[in-house]
Structure 1
Amino acid sequence: MNSRRDFLQKITASAIAFTVFPHTGVAGKEATERPYDGPVLRVAIMGLGSYGTRVAEAMQSCKKAKLVGVISGTPSKIKDWQQKYNIPEKNCYNYENFDKIKDNPDIDAVYVITPNALHHPQVIRVAKAGKHVICEKPMALNAKEGQEMVGACKKANVKLLVGYRMHFEPHTLEVIRMRNAGEFGKILFFQGLCGFRIGDPTQWRLNRQLAGGGSLMDIGIYALNGARYMIGEDPVWVTAQETKTDHQKFKEGVDETIQFQLGFPGGAVASCLSTYSMNNLDKFFLNGEKGFAEMQPSTGYGPIKGRTNKGELKQPIVVHQTLQMEEMAGIILEGKQPVVPVDGEEGVRDLKVMDAIYEAAKSGKKIALKL
């Protein structure tokens, strides 16, 4: 096993078979018993790599969202997807001509699943074409880019959502419910550990021009975003330290390991670790005056497991991407409001904190935040 990703892919394959979460509309046995006849979000996926494939597979179980188009720079992938998912030729585009989706009434939204550095220009082009956008996280390389993307989508009167799949995950939402109900009392501390040993040194995630950084831009955003939704506040300061043991693999500007600390207005503090050099790191811990919540795995593709001071969490096991696309279809088509936001502004808040983490790691100073 070369990385946590390989392990998670194997787990998810088996998890898909028994996934069901009826009350949110995720397809399963319930879907065959009660045919859905409401509005359907017709989606084109941009970027047909491993995660794009995972999303496409998960969408086969959706009722409210349907894969209808593809955008890729690889003609052979387009042909394969056409055959596998019955995608018509008129809904297939490449990176040069996808602006033409403006004239295609059969596509409602584009899910951008490309390297981080491409998100900004591609999302803006999709918005100008008049289509709603779902963008993988991190939404951009920095907060300035993210804000420009939000502005472009507002100007075009289209929605911009970010691929925060954990914001819909049942165990996660149960912990948030318990916290909101005061069951943990005053929140004091959060710990987020996210990491794996990264493999191929030539992959885009280790290319600063494409990734915008290293582990923080890939896996660390889970701990950062998790600290915010688990504590239920936005941080007001950050400190950070970077550690690098392999300067050959992790070039200048590509972080191997970053530890960062966040301070929150209610007095809680968070201690987080993001790394590309250690496996077995996928854990959240939330501590309050009356109780605690521990999740491990906390953000992997599934199944999520957790416990609180009241016992084991026993929420339904779901395919995250299926549930995410169902709920995002509801947001776009029906104006649904999620418990935890997944809009562009949410993405910008994370980017502001990430900018500050890099600044703090470089300067050694505590950086004040105003989100």
Structure 2
Amino acid sequence: MNKQSRRYFIQKIGATATMLPLLAPLDLFADSAGHQNQPMLRVALMGLGNYASRVAKAMQDCKFAKITGLISGTPEKLRDWGSTYDVPEKNRYNYSNFDQIKNNPDIDAVYIITPNALHHSQTIRVAKAGKHVICEKPMAVSVEEGKEMVDACKKANVHLLIGYRMHFEPKTLEIHRMRANDELGAINFFQGQCGFKIGNPNQWRLNKDLAGGGSLMDIGIYAVNGARYMVGEEPIWVTAQEIKTSREKFKEGVDETILFQLGFPSGAVASCLSTYNMNFLDRFFLSGDRGFAELQPATGYGPIQGRTSKGPLTQAHTEHQTLQMDAMAQIILKDHKPTIAVDGEEGLKDLYILEAIYNACKTGARQEILLPQPHK
């Protein structure tokens, strides 16, 4: 290397060294995946079933959340999942001893993915252990249980978030934006159809003691919740009708098919269907006096498809649980405010409406809905 080349090389090195402090936040602290090093929400998954498998796989692409703990009643699952997701044995718990997470600094939050009737007691135990709670929907099987969960998490000063993955789905959010910006005009009608033919008659979803109900609790809640964020109002009344074709499969307290209608303060109405006995029902339709929006499929794992009076929706698909867990990490770690709420109060509102729907089915009479007022 001649003098001129050496001088040029030294000058370049000096310039690069001068720039290092400026480049560091962008490059030097990036992780192997190219993400910036920043706080990660360390999550223990509770209930290692089919849906937890989907969550766990999706979380491998998260930027702000990672799996650091496991809770299950099946030792084999703890062993296999621990190996797959690199969770050390000290961070694996069963349903009897998971209160010990209180003393585990590797865990910030627990994602409860167990049968509906277990959410209440498990949420309260996690809150008492001082960890944040992410709970699958429906958050509980009654309003009373939901209230106790909200109160327990407030008392423990931990977050309670409900697994409303559609609140972070891009096409859903685009329709929400259009409605909020008055691009569809005054909303007058919403239709939500949620259904499939359920299989194994011995599964927990058809057990009243574990599910707290039937199709309405499992998939009808998507239409209940969707009606609220699509219309942009809270319903004030409901009428409903239950249809049951097999009392052997759908025993007392386990609904097969429910049609329900919601009324809103503006005069808008919703017509919805929840069923465990009809396939190909996964559609939302929103009508305003200047436009419409439609999603079909609307709540499946994706990709969601949609169109509006302005044309097709083209937002890219990302695994819903990846988006959900990254967003929830930002809510917990940085107090971010989501476009559509996912906190315990949001889940509690749905429970009020679910109970009103069941009462309307039982009595045959219209039920008035009085939702709790937000805390000030």
TM-score (norm 1): 0.91
1:138-217 matched pairs, under 5 angstroms = 138-217=138-217
Q: Over residues 65-111 of structure 1, what are the superposed CA-to-partner deviations in whole Å (9 max), with x where a residue is unaligned? A: 00011000000000000110110011000000000000111100000
Letter in 2 for 1:68: T
Q: Over residues 206-243 of structure 1, what are the superposed CA-to-partner deviations in whole Å (9 max), with x where a residue is unaligned? A: 00000000000101000110000100111000110000
Letter in 2 for 1:64: F
The CA distance in 1 between the partners of 2:37 and 2:83, in whole Å, is 26
Letter in 2 for 1:152: A
The CA distance in 2 between the partners of 1:184 and 1:62, in whole Å, is 34
- Counterpart of 1:44 in 2: which secondary structure? strand
Instruction: Report the counterpart of residue 235 of structure 1 in structure 2.
Output: 235
Instruction: Report the counterpart of residue 9 of structure 1 in structure 2.
Output: none
1:20-59 matched pairs, under 5 angstroms = 34-59=34-59
The CA distance in 1 between the partners of 2:279 and 2:169, in whole Å, is 23
Q: Is residue 113 of structure 1 aligned with residue 143 of structure 2?
A: no
- Counterpart of 1:144 in 2: which secondary structure? helix
Letter in 2 for 1:161: L
Instruction: Report the counterpart of residue 258 of structure 1 in structure 2.
Output: 258
The CA distance in 2 between the partners of 1:158 and 1:66, in whole Å, is 19
- Counterpart of 2:141 in 1: which secondary structure? coil
- Counterpart of 1:225 in 2: which secondary structure? helix
Letter in 1 for 2:127: A
The CA distance in 1 between the partners of 2:78 and 2:357, in whole Å, is 38
> CA 1:284–1:72 in structure 2 vs 1: closer, same or farther (change >3 Å)?
same
Q: Over residues 157-210 of structure 1, what are the superposed CA-to-partner deviations in whole Å (9 max), with x where a residue is unaligned? A: 000000000000000000010001111100000000000000000000000000
- Counterpart of 2:133 in 1: which secondary structure? strand
1:306-321 matched pairs, under 5 angstroms = 306-321=306-321
- Counterpart of 1:358 in 2: which secondary structure? helix
Instruction: Report the counterpart of residue 25 of structure 1 in structure 2.
Output: none
The CA distance in 2 between the partners of 1:145 and 1:35, in whole Å, is 40
Letter in 1 for 2:110: V
Does structure 1 conserve the Cα–Cα contact (< 8 Å) formed by 2:31 and 2:37?
A: no
Q: Is residue 65 of structure 1 aligned with residue 65 of structure 2?
A: yes
Deviates more, 1:297-306 or 1:32-41: 32-41
Instruction: Report the counterpart of residue 291 of structure 1 in structure 2.
Output: 291
Which structure's relative contact order is higher, taking Cα pairs within 8 Å and 6+ residues apart? 1
Instruction: Report the counterpart of residue 14 of structure 1 in structure 2.
Output: none
Q: Over residues 258-302 of structure 1, what are the superposed CA-to-partner deviations in whole Å (9 max), with x where a residue is unaligned? A: 000000011100000000000000000000000000110000000
The CA distance in 1 between the partners of 2:266 and 2:68, in whole Å, is 46
The CA distance in 2 between the partners of 1:40 and 1:87, in whole Å, is 15
> CA 1:271–1:58 in structure 2 vs 1: closer, same or farther (change >3 Å)?
same
Letter in 1 for 2:248: Q
Instruction: Report the counterpart of residue 303 of structure 2 in structure 1.
Output: 303
**Percentage of identical aligned residues:** 68
Q: Considering only CA atoms, is the larger Rg found in Structure 1 or Structure 2?
A: 2
Taking only aligned residues, the RMSD between alpha carbons, in angstroms, comes to 1.0
Alpha-carbon distance, 1:318 to partner: 1.0
Instruction: Report the counterpart of residue 122 of structure 1 in structure 2.
Output: 122
The CA distance in 2 between the partners of 1:35 and 1:357, in whole Å, is 45
The CA distance in 1 between the partners of 2:265 and 2:198, in whole Å, is 35
TM-score (norm 2): 0.90
- Counterpart of 1:179 in 2: which secondary structure? helix
The CA distance in 2 between the partners of 1:231 and 1:290, in whole Å, is 14
Alpha-carbon distance, 1:34 to partner: 3.7
Does structure 2 conserve the Cα–Cα contact (< 8 Å) formed by 1:31 and 1:63?
A: no
The CA distance in 2 between the partners of 1:82 and 1:185, in whole Å, is 51
Instruction: Report the counterpart of residue 330 of structure 1 in structure 2.
Output: 330
Instruction: Report the counterpart of residue 101 of structure 1 in structure 2.
Output: 101
Q: After TM superposition, what 4+ stretches of structure 1 lie above 6 angstroms from structure 2?
A: 30-33
Q: How many residues align?
A: 342
Alpha-carbon distance, 1:33 to partner: 6.8
The CA distance in 2 between the partners of 1:319 and 1:286, in whole Å, is 24
Q: Is residue 271 of structure 1 aligned with residue 271 of structure 2?
A: yes
Alpha-carbon distance, 1:368 to partner: 0.5
- Counterpart of 1:111 in 2: which secondary structure? strand
Could you list the runs of 5+ residues in structure 1 that have no partner in the other structure?
A: 1-29
The CA distance in 2 between the partners of 1:133 and 1:33, in whole Å, is 27
